[in-house]
Structures are given as structure tokens and as C-alpha cells.
Amino acid sequence: MEIIIKENGQVASEAAARIVVRLVKEKPNAVIGLATGSTPLMLYREMIRLHKEEGLDFSQVTTFNLDEYIGLPPEHEQSYRRFMNENLFKHINIKMENTHVPDGMAEDVPASCAAYEQAIIDAGGIDLQVLGIGSDGHVGFNEPTSSFASRTRIKTLTRETVADNARFFDDDESMVPHHCVTMGIGTIMDARMNIMLAFGERKADAIADTVEGPIASIMPASILQYHPAAKLFIDEAAASKLKLASYYRWVYDGKPKWQKDA
């Protein structure tokens, strides 16, 4: 696990975007896993800028999103399909038929989840998965105690996650769906590379436990310690409780430029 600490979220997101650039240039038909929420927005804005100003070509790229609320149609203001359309897909030259978000309105949820897993396999697997992290350490909607072997499935959100997400529903927890479809931890671990973004002091405890704590299902993101190519892009606030923060900075600062972008 590589820890990249930047002065703020914007600089960290720009560094993460360089990983995306390298992948898409080396493999134009790359398969990229995407996340929603406020954390990846700066990354997506940078990807849009790179497309519009530097010609980064997404025309052959395929994407798979981590999760979706159950019961929200794609056109709902808070659906993750709409989030992705408005914050990324509409602004780059990706083919909409190559973008995939779990179906929150599926009549047969288990069958829909199995089909999602198969679609990832049929696409050749995920080359790069973008992740955020919840204040309780969840990734995707894999809440604490989720199985490390889990695959795309239905999950019940914790009260903490419902409370955290209420800000997207006019601070009304009663409006937040309590169930979702999410890629499993096993699915996430199959990605050839994982990049996690985390900004702000609210994420400091989760980051410290993920990076320097034991690997345990109570902290789902800690499984990334076992991933052969996991990179965490965090700001100073999120890094504030890392015991070895100065070491991580020293390691990263000593790398040649080509390796920082790899």
C-alpha cells in the first residue's frame, strides 16, 4: 500500500488523475471502476479538464460503478447513475453504453447482481478502481463486518452511513434509502489497481486504521493492505493520525517523476 500525502484535496486529486491518464494512454480500452459521493468530484473535474484541454480520449473506455441505492430510478436527483452522468459522463467522450451502474430498480436483485459481476468479467476485469472511504471504514457500501470474499450484492446501510448521506437528501434521514446494491470486497480486490481518495479530518481515524491498524472486517478498507497495487491519495487533514506520516512523505518525495505517475 502506497500512501501519497498532499497539501490539499485538489493537489491529491490531480496526482490521482495522472494515474488515470497513464492508464488510458497505455490502454485506450481500459476498464475503470468509479465511485460516487463528494470525495471523487475533484478527480472527475480534473479528468474532464484533461479531456477538454489536453484531448484525453475516453471513447474506448468502459466503466463500472461501485454501487447504487435500491429504489431510486436512474433519473432521481440522488441516484448514482444521475450523479455520474452529471459529474463526469456528459462532459467526456465516453460512450454511454460503456458505462455501467448497478440497477437500483431491478425486480430480481440477486440476478441483477450476478449479471453485474459477469459483465465485469466479460469486459476483462477492472484495470483501475477508484475508491472513497466512509468515516467507519466502509468502501463502496461494504459496511463494517462485510465479508472480504463478498461479491456484488444487496446490503443494508448502517445508521452512521444513513446519517452521513442525509446531507444529500436535504438533511432528512428519512429520505435516505436503507438498502443498496454494491460491488463486494472480493470484487474490489480483483481490480488490478485500487486508488483511494480521502480528504478532511473526519477521515483521519479511518485512514489510520486502514493503513496502520490490523486487517479486520470491522474496518473493511483495511483489506487493501493485502492488495498488490493500492495507492491512497490523502490530504494533510486525513493524514493527521498516521504514526508514520513523515516516512510516507519521505518515500514519495524520493521517487523519480515517472514512478510517481505509475
d(CA 36, CA 38): 7
The string of pLDDT tens digits covering residues 155-197 is 998 888 888 888 878 877 778 888 999 999 999 999 999 999 9
Instruction: Answer yes or no: 91 catalytic.
Output: no
What is residue 262's predicted lDDT score, i.e. its pLDDT? 67
Query: Does the pLDDT value for residue 261 go beyond 80?
Result: no
Q: Is the pTM of this model over 0.75?
A: yes
The string of pLDDT tens digits covering residues 103-159 is 999 999 999 999 999 999 999 999 999 999 999 999 999 999 999 999 999 999 888
What is residue 200's predicted lDDT score, i.e. its pLDDT? 97
Query: Does the pLDDT value for residue 83 go beyond 90?
Result: yes
What is residue 121's predicted lDDT score, i.e. its pLDDT? 98
CA angle 91, 94, 99 (to 5 degrees): 110
The string of pLDDT tens digits covering residues 211-256 is 999 999 999 999 999 999 999 999 999 999 999 999 999 999 998 8
The string of pLDDT tens digits covering residues 41-63 is 999 999 999 999 999 999 999 99
Question: Which run of H or E residues covers position 68?
Answer: strand 67-69
The catalytic position among 136, 190, 209, 235 is 136
What is residue 176's predicted lDDT score, i.e. its pLDDT? 83
- Give burial (CB, 10 Å; 0-12/13-18/19+) of 125: middle
Instruction: Answer yes or no: 108 catalytic.
Output: no
Instruction: Answer yes or no: 143 catalytic.
Output: yes
The catalytic position among 46, 103, 143, 209 is 143
Q: What is the mean pLDDT of residues 4-25?
A: 97
The catalytic position among 51, 100, 127, 138 is 138
Instruction: Answer yes or no: 205 catalytic.
Output: no
The catalytic position among 67, 117, 164, 209 is 67
Q: 174 vs 204, which has greater pLDDT?
A: 204
* CATH class of this structure's domain 2-253: alpha beta
What is residue 171's predicted lDDT score, i.e. its pLDDT? 77
| DSSP code, position 168 | G
